[in-house]
Amino acid sequence: MDTGQSRLGSECRAQVEQAQFPLNGNAKIDRTALPVPQTTPLPGIASNLDGGEVEAEVAAIWRSVIMVDHIRPDERLFDIGGASLHVAQIHQLVTERFRLPRLRMTDLFAHPTIRTFSAHIRTLRAGRPRGDDAENADRAANQPA
């Protein structure tokens, strides 16, 4: 049975059982006095990254920008709480970290998981041309002098 928990990912809110909730002066729940819930990865779901150093560094960047504790390699950026502002921040940090001026912000939309985005970074680092770069090179080669 699918409870939806696997799709909710890291943004799912935790539940805390209390015999009595602490109240503030206005007789409302004092959220600052509540215990901090412990977060743990979901049982039975692999959170290990097996894509090497690039994947581990990309995951660390995503976690710091989106401010989540756990991201599975195949979770989509926007499914774990990512937004357009996060795309800009991730793009900047990844571009600086891997020295990839050819990396585009739209690459995060085309490769929305840590696994696929990391593979794309490895492709760019290997110097293989992007699809549109290859087309531009072909056009330049076929133009008369």
Please report the pLDDT score of residue 29 as a whole number.
87
Please report the pLDDT score of residue 111 as a whole number.
96
Please report the pLDDT score of residue 43 as a whole number.
45
Domains belonging to the chain, first-starting first, are: 49-127 (1.10.1200.10)
Please report the pLDDT score of residue 6 as a whole number.
42
pLDDT averaged per 10 residues, the chain (length 145):
41 64 90 71 48 89 90 90 93 94 94 94 81 48 53
Report whether 71 contacts 59 (CB < 8 A): yes
Rounded CA-CA distance 138/81 in Å is 40
